[in-house]
Amino acid sequence: MVGLLVWTSCEKDVILDLSDVEGQYVIVEANITDGEEIQWVKLSYSSSYYDVSRGRGITDATVQIESGDDIFVFKQWNSDTLPGYYYNTEIPQQLQEKVYELSIEVEGEKYTASSELMPVPSIDSLSIKINPFSELGFTQDTIYDIFVHFRDLPAQENYYLFNYAINDTLRTPRPSDKALVSDENLEETVSLAIFNINREDIEDGDEITLEIRSISRENFDFYNIFFTQTDLSGNPFAGAPPANIPTNLSAGARGFFQVSATGKKSIIFHDENLK
């Protein structure tokens, strides 16, 4: 599925009325990443704060992304099977470091957002170690830490989002599952325990793949809001948590548009090597 280029001017805070938000707001989930054959934009209407189901998908919208002289029109997927999903197969897998403009029209209302692709460092390696508290017997279950090792990009402010998968199955689908990193206090050479895994959730020989994404400061703040507030049944857009929610979308739409460079690295889990 699918920041901000001029970071200071596009972000807005909107306080929503918890008593009745169902259908009142357009929710946008738009994360464009390099290396993908198909790019997605998900559109829905807001649902009640007390409704843990996803909002009703928006059909018959006009969706496009513009970058320089290129205009990429998104087509609606089968509205019966995946209402609200729009896709494009023409965006190059090798994205360029420039500004991308998202434009959405729903029932005569136009919503826009923009995001600048920022570079991302390559992951040098991964390592797995038993968690120190687990090693000392302070945890009931055996816990392992996934360490990521990379060299931070110099002379600029960087923000990163991490996902991980086991045998190609994503284990971080919800906002609260993901890991966020700011390089504000990082050394040039980085070694971080980024995720932990319960021994019961992995088998010897399983492949762990870590993904790093470049994100904007505003997207970093956007995810942090959801980390500290309600994440209802995996649906961060069910109604509105009782606080200001950052967005880079215009005209009162919610959600976020982010274009990200990505990097991946894999490691095979071998329990005997960790004892």
Mark whether 78 and 159 lie in a shared domain: no
Domain with 45, as residue range(s), is: 12-118+238-260
147 or 8: which leads in pLDDT: 147
pLDDT at 258: 98
As for how many domains the chain has, the answer is: 2
| pLDDT average, residue stretch 57-86 | 95
Q: Is the dihedral of CA 169, 170, 174, 178 positive or negative?
A: positive
**205-260, pLDDT tens digit by residue?**
999 999 999 999 999 999 988 777 655 444 555 444 444 678 999 999 999 999 99
CA angle 248–103–114, rounded 5-degree value: 35
Q: Does residue 207 lie in a domain region?
A: yes
Q: What are the C-alpha distances in Å from 70 to residues 41, 90, 91, 185?
A: 18, 10, 9, 38
Q: Does residue 111 lie in a domain region?
A: yes
Mark whether 23 and 65 lie in a shared domain: yes
pLDDT at 231: 52
Between 24-33, 92-101, 234-243, the lowest mean confidence (pLDDT) is in 234-243
Q: Does residue 5 lie in a domain region?
A: no
Mark whether 145 and 270 lie in a shared domain: yes
d(CA 166, CA 29): 24
Identify which of 256, 171, 239 has the alpha carbon closest to the alpha carbon of residue 1.
256
Mark whether 270 and 254 lie in a shared domain: no
Mark whether 163 and 270 lie in a shared domain: yes
Mark whether 25 and 112 lie in a shared domain: yes
Which 8-state DSSP code applies to residue 178? S
Q: Does residue 3 lie in a domain region?
A: no
Q: Write the DSSP string, 14-47.
A: E---TTS-TTTSEEEEEEEETT-SSEEEEEEE--
| pLDDT average, residue stretch 13-39 | 76
Mark whether 166 and 268 lie in a shared domain: yes
Q: Over the Cα atoms of the chain, what is R_g?
A: 20
Q: How confident is the model at residue 164 (pLDDT cuts 50, 70, 90)?
A: very high
Q: pTM of the prediction?
A: 0.84
Place of tokens 């995720």: 195
pLDDT at 21 over 50: yes
Between 9-23, 71-85, 127-141, 145-159, the lowest mean confidence (pLDDT) is in 9-23
Mark whether 136 and 267 lie in a shared domain: yes
Q: Which amino acid, residue 255?
A: G
